[in-house]
Structure 1
Amino acid sequence: MERQDKGMPFLLQYENVAWYEDGEVRILDRRFFPHDRKFVVCKDYHEVIKAIRDLVTQSAGPFTAVGMGMALAAYQCKDLEEKKQIEFLTKAADELGHARLTTSNRYSAITHRALKKQIEAIEAGKSPIEAAFNDTIDSLNRRYATEQIIGDNFVDLLSNNSSILTHCYAETVIGCIIRAARKQGKTIKAYDTATEPFFQGAKLTASCFQEGGFETTMVPDNMVNFVLERGDIDVFTTAADTVTMDGYLTNKIGTKQVAILCNRVGVPYFPTEIPDQDKPTHDDIKIEMRDPSGSLEFEGKRYVMEGVKSIYPSFDITPPYLISALVTDRGVFSPYNLKEYAKMGANNFY
């Protein structure tokens, strides 16, 4: 299959997300992008887990990182006997699959599929390293192609010269929206929240739209209401870390408050995501609480006085009444009727 990252911004080129080669996984350190394009090099799959937990990569970046991490795990155990290799890889699949709490179902789908192919390779006398690497590339191609359908469906909803508001970094679908807008000949104005405390919106989302040639405005988190009331925004959109089948959406902390403001002024919220059919209700959502010190510093430098405390939930949960419609690869659905999506069967997205 032809690689699906053609024409994507720098951040979304496969090698710039996470890449295995010669016993190492190289991950673009998004914490310092765009002013510093450096990579974290992992020589042990536990280092991949640490990179994910430290937000070296986030959004959908860990989907690639855990897959490449399975290739690295296979390299680490290549000199062991067959049974020991399988034991080592099974442990790696479980640990990489649970690198972060809220999205462990998605990570685990990737690592355990890779594990299955690695076991098949070992039993056939083939390379489990190549099995995991090739499966990760297949996953990337499949995901990018599927996200392009979502991006096309989202841009179909927009009038020419629409202004869209984003929060955090929606990863692949941002590049797909850019490609869809070009294909449909539509001009988009992007307003991207800064998204504290790591400023993924300012550093990542805004960079993609700017690189894509679209008018791009960064909106500090506490100015969202101002641009909404002034009438600058036509549509609010995000991806999601989880969408449960009863229509609740989990995304970067702050998503719900932006959705509330949009609802108040009549701006529709069209998130772009595939629902998680393995999460029937919002009771299945587990919110990851991060080390509060991470919200008291920026790029390694503390910016508040010693003794000041903080809290740091990674995500919040937006209820269906704040969601206008969910834009998926199979069309546009009411968050109250995702069973219609499920009727179309499960898909192999990750």
Structure 2
Amino acid sequence: MQDNQTLQSIRYQRGLLSILDQLQLPDESVYIPIHSVDDAWKAIHTMSIRGAPAIAVCGVLSLAVELHHSRSKLESIAAVQHFVTDQLNYLSTARPTAVNMAEAAATIIDYLIPLSDKQVDLSLYIDDLLDFMEKFLEHDLADNRSIGRYGAETIRNNNPSPQQLTVLTHCNTGSLATVGFGTALGVVRQLAANNDLKLVYFTETRPYNQGSRLTAYELVHDRIPHSMICDSMAGLLMRTQPIHAVVVGADCVTANGDTANKIGTYQLAILAKYHHIPFYIAAPTTSIDLTKKTGAEIVIEQRPSREMTTIKGINIAAEGVQVWNPAFDVTPAALITSIITEHGVFKPDELEEKLLSLQKKVST
């Protein structure tokens, strides 16, 4: 059994950042140092770190590390602002479907000018900016725990009988995809903590096997009752086993509730609809992009063919075969029962109105 530290996807203190290399899991738990924004870009792009919330926090903290070590080279507040803006825009290109990084970039960029209005000392300006970026770490963990509580409460309330519940999830949405606890897997963790969980089924999640490599790793570590299935088994599972809910994460949710998530999510939503099983999205509001009105506006990342044709470097397909390997699909809002956020649980058609109302309250 691994110690609890192995489930930290990110380790940080000012000037030092390392990430758990998820390409090595479950065989080895190896932390790799991130010295610069370029290191983080490569780690995100190659999926040494993945999961939309973890991508954003890793990106932001890599910039904090580089800013901390570069402060003597930056001669003015304007130079800091230019440096930070350029680096954030670069980080947002590493995996464009995962909207959290772009959201984090916009939040920090929006903070740069107001901060200069109240802090004119260059060194103190950098210190304040580092403090602001470091808060992304604690905010993510707090948001995940709120998502877990809201999600577990909702699923339990929708199944009022005293029996324990069986749920299905897809991909990895736990401590390895976030700073800690997780989104959809955080809901599962909370159900287990409440003694409401009988069993969680999870998919292997081809072609990158985030389920069999990473979700399995977490569930075994936490001793949560579980059973893994191949992606192609979900329909039969729903027809023959009592499944009380399907809960998955999100890389981008648009204003109308359409949701981009790991490839295979869309077909699970269709199957859940047919079998009358509630289908939930669990995601922080940083994954919600209200500037995109529908899922048609989401850019779907295409991944290398080797992810489908090889496993651990061993070829499993005919040489020269042509492949199509989108990393994500978009689930229409009509197939989604509710979206679980850190602020509550919303129907897709009320999401935009509720979030705008929350933003208005915060701004006032």
Fold shared, TM-score > 0.5 on shorter chain: yes
Candidates 56, 68, 77, aligned match of 2:61: 68
Candidates 334, 337, 341, aligned match of 1:321: 334
Give the match for residue 49 of structure 1: 41
Give the match for residue 243 of structure 2: 233
- Deviation at residue 321 of structure 1 after TM alignment: 2.0
* Cα distance change on mapping 1:71 and 1:61 into 2, 3 Å: same
Q: Does the 8 Å CA contact 1:118/1:131 hold for their aligned counterparts?
A: no
* Cα distance change on mapping 1:41 and 1:132 into 2, 3 Å: farther
SS of the residue corresponding to residue 208 of structure 1 reads: helix
AA of the residue aligned to 2:87: A
Q: Does the 8 Å CA contact 1:190/1:209 hold for their aligned counterparts?
A: no
Q: Does the 8 Å CA contact 1:181/1:188 hold for their aligned counterparts?
A: no
User: Any stretches of 5+ residues in structure 2 without a counterpart?
Assistant: 175-181
Give the match for residue 132 of structure 2: 135
Instruction: Determine if the alignment matches structure 1 residue 35 to structure 2 residue 27.
Output: yes
AA of the residue aligned to 2:29: R
**What CA RMSD, in Å, does the superposition of the two structures yield over aligned residues?**
2.8
* Cα distance change on mapping 1:130 and 1:226 into 2, 3 Å: farther
Give the match for residue 149 of structure 1: 146
- Deviation at residue 153 of structure 1 after TM alignment: 1.6
* Cα distance change on mapping 1:334 and 1:74 into 2, 3 Å: same
Aligned mates of 1:131, 1:197 — CA distance in 2: 42
Aligned mates of 1:205, 1:95 — CA distance in 2: 30
- Deviation at residue 249 of structure 1 after TM alignment: 0.9
Aligned mates of 1:298, 1:128 — CA distance in 2: 48
AA of the residue aligned to 1:276: D
Give the match for residue 216 of structure 1: 226
* Cα distance change on mapping 1:20 and 1:199 into 2, 3 Å: farther
User: Any stretches of 5+ residues in structure 1 without a counterpart?
Assistant: 1-7
AA of the residue aligned to 1:181: L
Instruction: Determine if the alignment matches structure 1 residue 247 to structure 2 residue 260.
Output: no
Instruction: Determine if the alignment matches structure 1 residue 101 to structure 2 residue 93.
Output: no
Aligned mates of 2:328, 2:136 — CA distance in 1: 25
Aligned mates of 1:128, 1:73 — CA distance in 2: 15
Aligned mates of 2:129, 2:58 — CA distance in 1: 11
Give the match for residue 177 of structure 2: none
Quick check: 272-281 or 29-38, which moved more?
272-281
Candidates 321, 346, 355, aligned match of 1:333: 346
Instruction: Determine if the alignment matches structure 1 residue 298 to structure 2 residue 298.
Output: no
* Cα distance change on mapping 1:225 and 1:179 into 2, 3 Å: closer
SS of the residue corresponding to residue 150 of structure 1 reads: helix
Aligned mates of 1:129, 1:202 — CA distance in 2: 42
SS of the residue corresponding to residue 326 of structure 1 reads: strand
- Deviation at residue 236 of structure 1 after TM alignment: 0.7
AA of the residue aligned to 1:74: L
Q: Does the 8 Å CA contact 1:166/1:201 hold for their aligned counterparts?
A: no
Which TM-score applies when normalising by structure 2?
0.82
- Deviation at residue 168 of structure 1 after TM alignment: 0.7
1:44-64 Cα offsets, whole Å, 9 max, x none, are 311210110101111122121
Instruction: Determine if the alignment matches structure 1 residue 169 to structure 2 residue 183.
Output: no
Aligned mates of 2:330, 2:349 — CA distance in 1: 15
Pairs aligned (count): 337
SS of the residue corresponding to residue 99 of structure 1 reads: coil
SS of the residue corresponding to residue 18 of structure 2 reads: strand
